[in-house]
Amino acid sequence: MNPTTRASITAVAAAVVAGSGYFGGRWLVLGIAVIMAFMAIGWPRLLRVAHLRVSTVVIGLGSLMALGTVVYGSSEPFLRYMVVAMAAITIAALISEIFFPSPRGRAVAAVSATAAGGALCATGTAWVAAYRTEGAQELVVASATALAVAAVASVLTNNGNVNAILALALGTATGSGLAFVFDSVPWYAGTLVGIVTAASVVVMNELARREPRPSDAWAGIASGVTPVLACGVLIYVGGVLLVG
């Protein structure tokens, strides 16, 4: 999968978060759950885990558990029980290796890959936690929109350095601009989330550039949605400290 396709996947996933967040919390939960499903299927293929289905089940069920703790949490902080789900993912990854052993010499790598994928997938629930933070609903929409713009900007030219500058500039500008559109988002909060989301795209592009391109479509999709899920915690922190 080439960088343009991966960036397109990132932009689409970010647009799903922005669009679903604009229409309401229930739609946002559904959108995040769909992105998590793609991540759960593609991540084991991206890291070439021996038992793909087992790893997918652990990541998928663990991340849904994390999402449930955020959705049904009665009071802030909404992420306080997500750590239980992440611990369960790690334990499940260890237990699955006992019943479905990997080839000799790959056990540690398999457990680490599944646990890391589950942790990344579970962090996507922070988008919902941020949305549930009082006054931060519009910040979620602005952040996801800035992320989508940065993803598109990151592949506008053939020069990686130029693309990084464009992604940072346009992502920051989008966040700042939307701060003037949404009354609940201060200009500094919009600017900060714009920088954070753009930086996540730039970092993931650099990491992906150093690795072989995924030949499997699901692996490429997982690579594309990773920055979207990972940004959830950063936006949650921004929502709590800057807006909520």
The pLDDT, as a whole number, for residue 188 is: 84
Pick the more confident residue, 137 or 1: 137
Q: What is the pLDDT of residues 157-178, one digit of tens each?
A: 888 888 889 999 999 999 999 9
Q: What is the pLDDT of residues 103-119, one digit of tens each?
A: 887 888 889 999 999 99
Q: How far, in Å, are 9, 78, 177, 184, 223 from residue 195 at the CA level? A: 20, 25, 13, 19, 21
Confidence (pTM): 0.90
Taking phi over 0 as left and psi of -120 to 50 as alpha, with beta for the rest, 24 belongs to left
Q: Does 197 score more than 80 pLDDT?
A: yes
Sign of CA dihedral 52, 54, 57, 60: negative
Q: Are 51 and 102 in contact (CB under 8 A)?
A: yes
Tell me, what DSSP letter sits at residue 102?
A: P
Instruction: Quickly count: other Cβ atoms within 10 Å of residue 48's Cβ.
Output: 14
CA 20 to chain centre: 15
Gap between the Cα atoms of 211 and 28, Å rounded: 32
Q: What is the pLDDT of residues 26-75, one digit of tens each?
A: 999 999 999 999 999 999 998 888 889 999 999 999 999 999 989 887 77
Gap between the Cα atoms of 126 and 70, Å rounded: 8
User: Following DSSP, what letter does each residue of 147-195 receive, concatenated?
Assistant: HHHHHHHTTSSS-HHHHHHHHHHHHHHHHHHHHHHSTTS-HHHHHHHHH
Mean residue pLDDT of the chain comes to: 87
Q: Does 81 score more than 90 pLDDT?
A: no
Gap between the Cα atoms of 166 and 153, Å rounded: 6
Q: Does 145 score more than 70 pLDDT?
A: yes
The pLDDT, as a whole number, for residue 242 is: 67
The pLDDT, as a whole number, for residue 243 is: 65
